[in-house]
Every structure is written in C-alpha cells, then in structure tokens.
Amino acid sequence: MPLFGSRQPDPDADRVPPGQYKTDKFPVLHYGSVPNTNIATWDFRVFGEVDTPFRLTWDEFKALPRKTVTTDIHCVTRWTKLDTVWEGVPIQEILARAGVRPSVAHVLEHAEQGYTTNVPLSVLDDDDVLLADTFDGKPLDLEHGWPLRLVLPKRYFWKSAKWIRGLEFLDRDQPGFWERYGYSNNAEPWQEERYSE
C-alpha cells in the first residue's frame, strides 16, 4: 500500500496537454445540426491557388491510396482522447495531386453548412494528417463526420472539420468559423493556445 493513499501517478500524464483531462469516451461536439449527406451527389473539391484543381466523387475518393494513423486528440473544451485510430487518405496524397503553388501559405477547410476552419499549409502538410472516413475500423458515425472528416492531431480538434467537402488553397490567411469568434488562430494544445489575444 502506498503511504499516502492509493492514487497512482497517471502513466499517460505527459501525453495530456496543460489544462486538459483524459477521457475514454468519444464526446460529440459541433455547432448546428448533423447534416444529411447524400453519398451519390457528395463531392470533395480542391481549389484555389493550385495548378490542378479537382473534384472527387465518393468512389474516386475511395480509390485513393490509404493509411492508418493512431494519435491523441485534444478538444478546446478540455477533453483529450489518447490512441484514437483513424483510416483514410493521407493529406500529402491530396497536396501532391493538387500541385500547390509556391505562393500558398494558408488553407481553408470547407465543410457542410458553411463550417470553415483555417490552417497554415506547413501544419496541414504532415504525415499524421488524414482525410478520414474510418474510426476504430468502422465507417465514421454520422455525428463524428460521416462520410469524411479531416484529422489534424497537432491542433485543437476544431481544426479537424467534420463533414468536410473541400480544401481551398490561399496566399493569405482567412479566419474560419471559430477563429472569427475569438478562438486562437494557431490553436496549439501544448502551448495552450485556446483564445486569441
């Protein structure tokens, strides 16, 4: 018996960013309602400052190269979930196909119902960033973003748009939905960048 009670130090403590707590649940968080997506008319658009803008149908998306990423996720409302397992198309596959122009420094994620969130190209262009259609080996639940969401583990999770429909490449920054409401532009959990100054 430990001398001062039975609480053991959490072996995962160094994986939980400042001000966050660990949960095994998978909370559902979004603004508005769960959209009604028709997979037959669904598309994913890559546009803006790219040499090869393109549009993918669901079947075309499903035919792209895929990989699995296991990662921790952090929501600004303070929950952190460790070792989440996602599968989908690596973002670097999309970037390569688009031919992103040298002038591009920013990307705007576009999702259903006008939800947007912005991210620097240098942050998006990482080997743990996925366009994910699968969580824990199963298609995404509707409320977690079916059919497709972005997963960007190195930023608070509002930068991971559910029901994503496109990426817009920009030569200047353009704040997204939460960023316009005073949330941090950079949103780095280890720096605890929750709100803008």
Q: Which residues bind Mo ion (CB under 5 A)?
A: 29, 75-76, 157-158
> Cβ of residue 61: shortest distance to Mo ion, in angstroms?
25
Q: Distance (Å, rounded) from C-alpha 39 to C-alpha 173?
A: 31
Give 167's contacts (C-beta < 8 A, 6+ positions apart). 45, 46, 47, 48, 94, 98, 107, 108, 109, 110
15 contact, one of ligand MTE, Mo ion, none, CB 5-8 Å limit per kind: none
Q: Is residue 31 within the footprint of ligand MTE (CB under 6 A)?
A: yes
Q: Is residue 162 within the footprint of ligand MTE (CB under 6 A)?
A: yes
Specify the 3-state DSSP secondary structure of 59.
helix
Nearer to ligand MTE, 30 or 97 (CB): 30
184 contact, one of Mo ion, ligand MTE, none, CB 5-8 Å limit per kind: none
Of the residues 58, 146, 157, 169, which one makes contact with ligand MTE according to CB under 6 A: 157
161 contact, one of Mo ion, ligand MTE, none, CB 5-8 Å limit per kind: ligand MTE
Give 13's contacts (C-beta < 8 A, 6+ positions apart). none
Burial code of 39-59, b = ≥16 C-beta within 10 A, e = fewer?
Answer: eeebebebebbbeeeeebebe
Q: CA torsion 121→79→179→148, rounded to 10°? A: 60
> Cβ of residue 28: shortest distance to ligand MTE, in angstroms?
4
Q: Is residue 195 within the footprint of ligand MTE (CB under 6 A)?
A: no
Number of residues that bind ligand MTE (CB under 6 A): 17
Residue 122: burial class (beta carbons within 10 Å; 0-12, 13-18, 19+): exposed
Q: Is residue 181 within the footprint of ligand MTE (CB under 6 A)?
A: no
Binding residues (CB under 6 A) for ligand MTE: these are 26-31, 75, 111, 115, 144-145, 157-158, 160-163
